[in-house]
Amino acid sequence: MAETWTVLKILQWTAGYFKEKGIDGGRLDAEILLADVLKLNRVGLYLNFDRPLSSDEQAAFRERVARRARREPVQYILGTTEFWSLPLQVTPDVLIPRADTEILVEEALKKIAGSGAILDVGTGSGAIAIALAHELPEARIDAIDISPAALAVAEANARHNGLAERVNFRQADLYHLSGGPYGLIVANPPYIPGAEMSGLMPEVRDFEPHLALLGGDADGLAAYRALATEAGRLLQPDGWLLVEVGLGQAEAVDRIFIRAGLQDLFVRDDYAGVPRVVGGRNLR
């Protein structure tokens, strides 16, 4: 007789299997993947622990488990994630939006007037631009990325959230910016030094786009130097440049902003106490 796999039994087995593969939070990943297969939420799983899975459901779940065991991020397996409580499509062409980046959105909302002009540099999935468009219905938002594939994802996300008319997506290189004047420039630029790539988690190193990760220069800060240099030309008087930074980079980025002539500098920690956002104002 074929073995019967119930919701609880397959979750327990999968959590153990993921642990053997070195995956932290394996039980949560198992629940998310199984909920996707069964078209339930996680509460629904708990209410159906004794439900047996059909052979088709088992096959679909095995395929997802095999992908996760190879360390593919859950978000890419599902093809979706959430940012600022908005649903977003994600593919390997874009970085997976993370909760830390919501700190950048929070600070941006404090600095821009509701009808101001905003530039999102390196938009990727469009997460930041879409969140700002959602919160600022009168704002004019330009969002750029060098990757046509990333822009296609961002445009699809804007349409899905009913904001296609609110964000102007265009292909551009952050080292050759144009437009403005803007009241606010925001960016979560590439900031990983090349020498550190091999030490990243497999989920990041092997699956997320290196174009959006590698920061250029030995210290990974090339994008910040370019943004700070261009800020005086692109920002209107009193306009702000706000950037997300990596672990341990806030002080160096602060110095870059000072040398570029930005003023009223500040650093904002994320909710884990890690310096996450650096901002400066154009007073020239």
Do 135 and 231 belong to one domain?
yes
Question: 49 with 150, same domain?
Answer: no
Write b or e for each residue in 187-207: b if 16 or more Cβ atoms lie within 10 A of its Cβ, otherwise e: bbbbbbbeeeeeeeeebbbeb
**Residues sharing a CB contact under 8 Å with residue 59, sequence separation 6 or more, in sequence order:** none
How is residue 211 annotated by DSSP? G
Average pLDDT, the chain: 94
Q: Which domain holds residue 177?
A: 86-281
Over residues 260-276, mean pLDDT: 95
Among 17, 40, 70, the domain boundary falls at 70
Residue 1: predicted pLDDT? 44
pLDDT band at 178 (very low <50, low <70, confident <90, very high): confident
Report, as an integer, the average pLDDT of 53-61: 96
Is residue 80 a part of any domain in this protein?
Answer: no
pLDDT band for position 2 (cuts 50, 70, 90): low
Tell me the average pLDDT across 15-19.
96
Q: Any idea what the CATH number is for the domain that residue 172 is in? A: 3.40.50.150
Average pLDDT of the residues in 266-278: 95
How many domains does the chain fold into? 2
Asked if residue 222 belongs to a domain, the reply is yes
Q: Does residue 212 carry a pLDDT above 70?
A: yes
Give this prediction's pTM: 0.92
With a cut of 80, say whether residue 66 has pLDDT above it: yes
* Distance from C-alpha of 19 to C-alpha of 45, rounded to nearest angstrom: 21
Q: Are residues 92 and 50 in the same domain?
A: no
Q: Taking residues 137-144, what's their average pLDDT?
A: 95
Q: Report whether pLDDT(110) > 60.
A: yes
Can you read off the two tokens belonging to residue 99? Answer: 């909760």
Provide, rounded to the nearest whole percent, the portion of the chain with pLDDT above 70: 99
The average pLDDT across 68-85 equals 97
Same structural domain for residues 94 and 27?
Answer: no
Q: What is the mean pLDDT of residues 182-200?
A: 92
Instruction: Name the range with the highest mean pLDDT among 72-81, 168-177, 275-284.
Output: 72-81
Is the residue at 81 inside a domain?
no
Q: Give the per-residue pLDDT at 115.
A: 67
Q: What is the predicted pLDDT for the residue at 83?
A: 98
- Please state, for a pLDDT cut of 90, what percent of the chain lies above it: 88
Helices 55-69 and 26-38 pack at an angle, to 10 degrees, of 140
92 in the same domain as 46: no
Average pLDDT value for residue range 131-139: 95
Same domain, yes or no: 240 and 119? yes
| pLDDT exceeds cutoff 90 at 17 | yes
How high is the pLDDT of residue 4?
A: 87
